[in-house]
Amino acid sequence: MRLTSRINQLKTSIENGNLDTDELRANWKEIITQAGGTHERVGLMLGIPVVYCDSCGGICFAIKTKTAYNGAQWVCEDKCLSKYTPCEECHTLILIEDVNNPTHVHDGTQAPGRLHFPFELGVAVYNADVMSDGAYFFKTMEEQKLFVRRKLTAKDPEKVFRYLGVELEVERGAGCPPDLLSRTRKVFDKFAMMKHDGSLSRHGKGGWEIVAKPATLAFHKSGIWTPFFQHLGSFFQESPQTTGLHVHIGTATLSPLTVDKIILFINAEENREFVYAMANRNLLKINPNGRLYANIRQWGKADMLRLKQHGAHCPWNPNNKGISNYFKMVNGMIQVDPFGNPIIAALSADPGSVRASCKCAAGHYNIEHYEAVNLRTHRPTVELRIFRGVINEQFLYACLEFADSLADFCSITPLDQLHYKNFIGFLGDKTKRCRNLYRLLVNQCWIDPPKTKHAEVNTPAVYGIYT
């Protein structure tokens, strides 16, 4: 059927009072392409406006829709209107699950039909510094008291604390409130920053990244995340394939050897299935945009100094080696011939010398950023990029507990014993500190549940096995 015939057929139906949405949606992609690629043009050709439903995404006649959130959303009557209810104080339709939501601020001064909600402050750029408004590290009140006491005696009182940073990528759900970004920013206040992330849907426009400031494990679990999950969690996609959860571990409590062990544990072949289960995703499965954001590598057992970026004057810079030198050196650089080969200056090497210690800034490494264990953070942190961005509070706590306990495990375990079974055994006496991690491992059958009738870990899983 030709385009003009379809348009004429729809016109005839409209003249007869038949505004059937299903008839409009039939062959819609072909019609909108041939009509110039916009639904507005199709509406002009039909003589009646057509719009997209903000809840289901389907096309429909504007006259067969209702507006919600003071005109910020179109809602089709046949499929999605049942999800909404009038808000007497706002004088507009809102989602039923938003009626008693404390983050929904009533604004009775807004007249119906006035575009109010969509005008939000945008997200920060992808490389914005979450510490730009002050290098503040969050602690509980008990930890703050300990910190104050240590300031009187310790040279560096912060080193007693292990700080964890969180980057949680989120995707908007269908028909979510149009002011969801503002609500998220208000819930976290100064604890987190909303940043752009190009790996999300629609080149990053479908969501954003919640970047929290460094805080202790106890502070993360003290309830700072609860309002977000409780009041806003249902408005986001629960576990989209485009999102990830990254946990930063401060290196103040980690030795270079411990960082080496963390890399080996996560990348070890024998731990692969356990890491996938813990992460809730297959790390070798590419993102819908065709890229991998948590690559698995086969790093060696002593790569920290080799991978670290060393300044031009650092004794550990490859160009500044002063031992066993057979080559011609000028200003600390090995000279080469026109073919690129090093020029040999002597057959007997210069006497060996001991290099001074490296004093380069921590957190700079010559590796790719998109690693399962990322060392190239430009901060004194180690980043675990393995987790899926699941909108679930218990899963977030389980990931934080895993990062914290993995650092403790690697600090005391020999290099040849970095096996997941040893890690599970290490967790045996830490069930109270790692309650959420323990529950996750029980639900995924990595740990046998305790033989008690009222054990909390026997509750059903609230998040699924990795896919």
Q: What digits encode the pLDDT tens for the residues 245-275?
A: 999 999 888 988 898 899 889 998 899 999 9
Mean pLDDT of 96-117: 70
Q: Map tokens 């090093």 to a residue.
A: 342
Give the pLDDT score at 224.
96
Nearest alpha carbon to residue 175 among 76, 296, 28: 76
Is the predicted pLDDT of residue 456 greater than 70, yes or no?
no
- The pLDDT of 84-108, averaged and rounded, is 87
Q: Compute the distance between CA of residue 64 and CA of residue 445 in angstroms, rounded to an integer.
A: 51
pLDDT band at 460 (very low <50, low <70, confident <90, very high): very low
Give pTM, 2 decimals: 0.80
Taking alpha carbons only, the member of 363, 434, 427 closest to residue 165 is 363
pLDDT of residue 301: 62
The reported pLDDT for the residue numbered 462 is: 38
> Is residue 435 in some structural domain?
yes
What band does 461 get if pLDDT is binned at 50, 70 and 90? Answer: very low
Domain total for the chain? Answer: 1
More confident residue, 379 or 225: 225
pLDDT band at 78 (very low <50, low <70, confident <90, very high): confident
* Ordered DSSP codes for 157-185: GGGGS-EEEEEEEEEBPTT--TTHHHHHH
**Integer Cα distance of 333 and 321 in angstroms:** 9
**What pLDDT score does 458 carry?**
46
pLDDT at 70 > cutoff 50: yes
Other Cβ atoms less than 10 A from the Cβ of 323: the count is 11
328 close to 343: Cβ distance less than 8 angstroms: yes
Q: Does any domain span residue 126?
A: no
Domain that holds residue 260: 149-290+370-458
Residues 82-96 as b/e (b if ≥16 CB within 10 A, e otherwise) read: ebbeebeebbbbbbe
Q: Which of 59-63, 249-253, 434-438 has the lowest mean pLDDT?
A: 59-63
User: In this predicted model, what pLDDT tens digit does every residue of 382-401 receive, in sequence order?
Assistant: 999 999 999 999 999 999 99
pLDDT of residue 392: 96
Is the pLDDT confidence value at 463 over 60?
no
CA distances in angstroms from 19 to 22, 24, 63, 64, 150, listed in the order given: 9, 8, 9, 8, 74
Q: What is the mean pLDDT of residues 422-427?
A: 94
Are 325 and 349 within 8 A, CB to CB?
A: yes
pLDDT confidence of residue 452: 64
Residue 464's pLDDT is: 37
Instruction: Tell me the mean pLDDT in the region 339-363.
Output: 66
Which of the four pLDDT bands, split at 50, 70 and 90, describes residue 357? confident
Residue showing tokens 């960082």? 259
Closest CA to 434 of 384, 393, 385, 399: 399
The encoded tokens of residue 146 equal 């300990």
Residue 125 lies in a domain: no
Mean pLDDT of 10-27: 71
Please give the pLDDT value at position 331. Answer: 74
* pLDDT surpasses 60 at 310: yes
Give me the CATH number covering residue 257.
3.30.590
Considering only residues 158 and 415, tell me which one the structure prediction assigns the higher pLDDT. Answer: 415
- Tell which wins on pLDDT, 304 or 211: 211
Q: What is the mean pLDDT of residues 283-293?
A: 84
Is residue 107 domain-resident? no
Amino acid at site 107:
D
The region of weakest confidence among 88-97, 319-328, 372-381, 451-460 is 451-460
State the pLDDT confidence band at 459, using cuts at 50, 70 and 90.
Answer: very low
- Position 358 in a domain: no
Residue 249 DSSP label: E
Q: Is residue 299 included in any domain, yes or no?
A: no
60, pLDDT greater than 70: yes
> Does the pLDDT at position 186 exceed 50?
yes
Between 107 and 67, name the one with better pLDDT.
67
Residue 25 within a domain: no
Q: Which helix (H) or strand (E) holds 211?
A: strand 207-212
Give the pLDDT of residue 3.
Answer: 56
**What pLDDT is attached to residue 226?**
96
Instruction: Work out the mean pLDDT of the chain and round it to a whole number.
Output: 82
Q: If you average pLDDT over residues 60-81, what whole number do you get? A: 88
What are the pLDDT digits (tens) for 187-217? 999 999 999 999 999 888 899 999 999 999 9
The pLDDT value recorded for residue 154 is 67
Give the separation between CA 106 and CA 90, rounded to whole angstroms: 5
Question: How large a percentage of the chain has pLDDT more than 70?
Answer: 81
Residue 400: inside a domain? yes
